[in-house]
Amino acid sequence: MPELRRDDSQNEAVNAAVGKSRKLAARLPRLILEARRVAATVIHGLHGRRRAGSGENFWQYRHFTNGEPSSNVDWRRSARDDQLYVREREWESSHTVWLWIDRSASMDFNSHLTEWSKLDRSLVVAFALAEVLVQGGERVGIPGLMRPTANRNIIETLARVILHDASEQPSLPPNFAPAPFSEVVLLSDLWSPIPELQGILAQLAANGARGHVVQIVDPAEETFPYSGRVEFVESESRGTITAGRAEKWRADYQAIVANHRAALRAATDNAGWSFTVHRTDRGPTELLFAIHGRMGAGVHEVFNTASKPA
């Protein structure tokens, strides 16, 4: 009899996974179209915003700075003026960016305050970012699922790999060792215990990889717009709790969220990674500009898109 119960449990899990995959497959065309629209907007906005570095293509002249080697001076250009000039080349060094999207049960939530679930918004942002990066000559991979690639059909490649992944979906990324100077982007609601997140960040940053952590939240998770008698269901453990007058919980709830977020910022600061909050009732374009603007810059700052219009 216990063996039968175990089989029933396995069948339930398989059926749930198949049902979830079918729902995602039905949504993917819309998500891909939205990702392409967002990527096109960002690529247009980034036009001409190149940076200096090692490469073959000329970018611009700049004034010579005292203390530089004299071999940097472009004497032909300098002969036309009273100033010394240095010839800069466009940065052409590609690197690897790892994208991890939290696909655990809590990410399927969306309230009446937005049309986007946290998972759908995360996928749109990940797809669009991958498109922008690949068009810029970078390689994109998913830890534990897809090796880094510069495939020009990167959105379809990511969508296909994610759709056919039937493994259990944890709330935090798997242990892996990104190479030094690679970058990691984590998209999650980040409601996991802080010590677990601290351990993951420390492990990922150990080899010198840079990272960007994005907390994707539903507006209801920020504002707690509930009143009266409400039953709350925990999406992953399926536990429930009932509030007789939910509005009386609001202040305490918001204080807990603020404390949790402060701990998230401290954890990312300790790892030298950036931290961003994004609400699903805001557009994704600003978030994508913010993430892309930090990549490769070596500057880690907090940027909160929850309080700014898209």
Per-residue pLDDT of 178-187, as tens digits, reads 988 899 999 9
Residues 72 and 220 in one domain: no
Q: Is the pLDDT of residue 298 over 80?
A: no
Per-residue pLDDT of 151-182, as tens digits, reads 999 999 999 999 999 888 899 999 889 988 89
| pLDDT band for position 18 (cuts 50, 70, 90) | low
Please check whether residue 2 lies inside any domain of the structure.
no
Please check whether residue 9 lies inside any domain of the structure.
no
Please check whether residue 178 lies inside any domain of the structure.
yes
| pLDDT band for position 84 (cuts 50, 70, 90) | confident
Average pLDDT over the chain, rounded to whole? 84
The residues, ordered by sequence, that sit 6+ positions from 193 with a Cβ below 8 Å of its Cβ are: none
Residues 68 and 176 in one domain: no
Please check whether residue 21 lies inside any domain of the structure.
no
Per-residue pLDDT of 230-277, as tens digits, reads 998 887 777 888 989 999 999 999 999 999 999 999 999 999 999 999
Parent domain of 84: 58-89
Residues 64 and 126 in one domain: no
| pLDDT band for position 68 (cuts 50, 70, 90) | confident
The residue written with tokens 């293509």 in the block is 57
**The pLDDT value given to residue 233:** 85
The mean pLDDT of 126-145, rounded to a whole number, is 94
Residues 171 and 246 in one domain: yes
Q: Cα separations (Å) of 208 from 133, 199, 241, 272, 288?
A: 20, 15, 43, 10, 23
Please check whether residue 4 lies inside any domain of the structure.
no
The mean pLDDT of 214-225, rounded to a whole number, is 96
The residues, ordered by sequence, that sit 6+ positions from 143 with a Cβ below 8 Å of its Cβ are: 98, 100, 173, 174, 176, 178, 184
The mean pLDDT of 143-151, rounded to a whole number, is 93
Please check whether residue 105 lies inside any domain of the structure.
yes
**The pLDDT value given to residue 4:** 38
Please check whether residue 184 lies inside any domain of the structure.
yes
**The pLDDT value given to residue 234:** 82
Q: Is the pLDDT of residue 108 over 50?
A: yes
Do 107 and 118 meet the contact criterion of CB atoms below 8 Å apart? Answer: yes
Residues 200 and 117 in one domain: yes
Tokens for 309, please give them: 């219009």
Question: Percent of the chain having pLDDT more than 70?
Answer: 82
**The pLDDT value given to residue 52:** 46
Return the higher-pLDDT residue of 297 and 37.
37
Residues 76 and 124 in one domain: no
CATH number of domain containing 113 = 3.40.50
| pLDDT band for position 48 (cuts 50, 70, 90) | very low
| pLDDT band for position 88 (cuts 50, 70, 90) | low
Tokens for 308, please give them: 């700014």
Q: Is the pLDDT of residue 297 over 80?
A: no
Please check whether residue 1 lies inside any domain of the structure.
no
